[in-house]
């Protein structure tokens, strides 16, 4: 019985440690995965940082349609509204697929990405759509 009592505190400590280290893993290298397909996508802008000045700018957030998990890009360097493809500072190409949207997994990854990178973000999807004159009616035609 004394073993049962000593397991509970250890189990509690283990669970607390898991909560501090969420189930987030790094992405494959650009060489191994040069392109990601994002569905239910949004664009967020880093508005505040604590020492990571290279994070300022716009970032894609969405569901990786191949691996079916949340994804956050490095800073968007260029975007083609005709093909709906963007290139990020890592050199990876992000293909936006279908209409913009919301993905719980992507929001979870974004929240942890913000915490790890010590940044604050705000939704910039509407700003992005206006900047690149993206026609939401034509998105399905272009990407579908």
pLDDT in tens, 66-103: 888 899 999 999 999 999 999 999 999 999 998 889 99
Identify the helix (H) or strand (E) that includes residue 106: helix 104-117
> What is the per-residue pLDDT across 6-25, written as a single tens digit (0 to 9) for each?
666 766 665 655 455 555 56
Distance CA 27, CA 77 (A): 19
Distance CA 143, CA 140 (A): 5
pLDDT above 70 for 2: no
**Per the domain annotation, does 105 fall within a domain?**
yes
Say which residue, 142 or 117, is predicted with more confidence. Answer: 117
**Per the domain annotation, does 45 fall within a domain?**
yes
**Per the domain annotation, does 118 fall within a domain?**
yes
User: pTM for this structure?
Assistant: 0.77
**Per the domain annotation, does 21 fall within a domain?**
no
Confidence of residue 43 (pLDDT cuts 50, 70, 90): very high
pLDDT at residue 144, rounded to an integer: 47
**65, 112 in Cβ contact below 8 A?**
no
> What is the per-residue pLDDT across 100-127, written as a single tens digit (0 to 9) for each?
899 999 999 999 989 888 899 999 999 9
**Per the domain annotation, does 61 fall within a domain?**
yes
Distance CA 118, CA 52 (A): 8
**Per the domain annotation, does 113 fall within a domain?**
yes
**40 backbone φψ class: left, alpha, beta (φ>0; ψ -120 to 50):** left
**Per the domain annotation, does 30 fall within a domain?**
no
Give the range of the structural domain holding residue 46, as residue numbers without chain letter: 35-143
User: Into how many domains does the chain fold?
Assistant: 1
**Per the domain annotation, does 137 fall within a domain?**
yes
């Amino acid at each position: 019985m004394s073993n049962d009592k000593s397991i509970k505190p250890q189990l509690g400590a283990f669970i607390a440690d898991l909560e501090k280290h969420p189930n987030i893993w790094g992405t494959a290298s650009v060489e191994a995965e040069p392109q990601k397909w994002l569905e239910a996508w949004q664009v967020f802008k880093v508005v505040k940082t604590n020492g990571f000045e290279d994070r300022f700018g716009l970032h894609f957030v969405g569901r990786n349609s191949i691996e079916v998990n949340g994804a956050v890009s490095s800073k968007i360097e260029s975007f083609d509204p005709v093909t709906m493809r963007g290139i990020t500072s890592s050199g990876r190409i992000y293909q936006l697929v279908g209409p913009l949207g919301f993905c719980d997994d992507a929001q979870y990854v974004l929240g942890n990405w913000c915490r790890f990178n010590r940044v604050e973000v705000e939704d910039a999807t509407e700003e992005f759509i206006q900047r690149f004159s993206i026609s939401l009616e034509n998105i399905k035609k272009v990407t579908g």
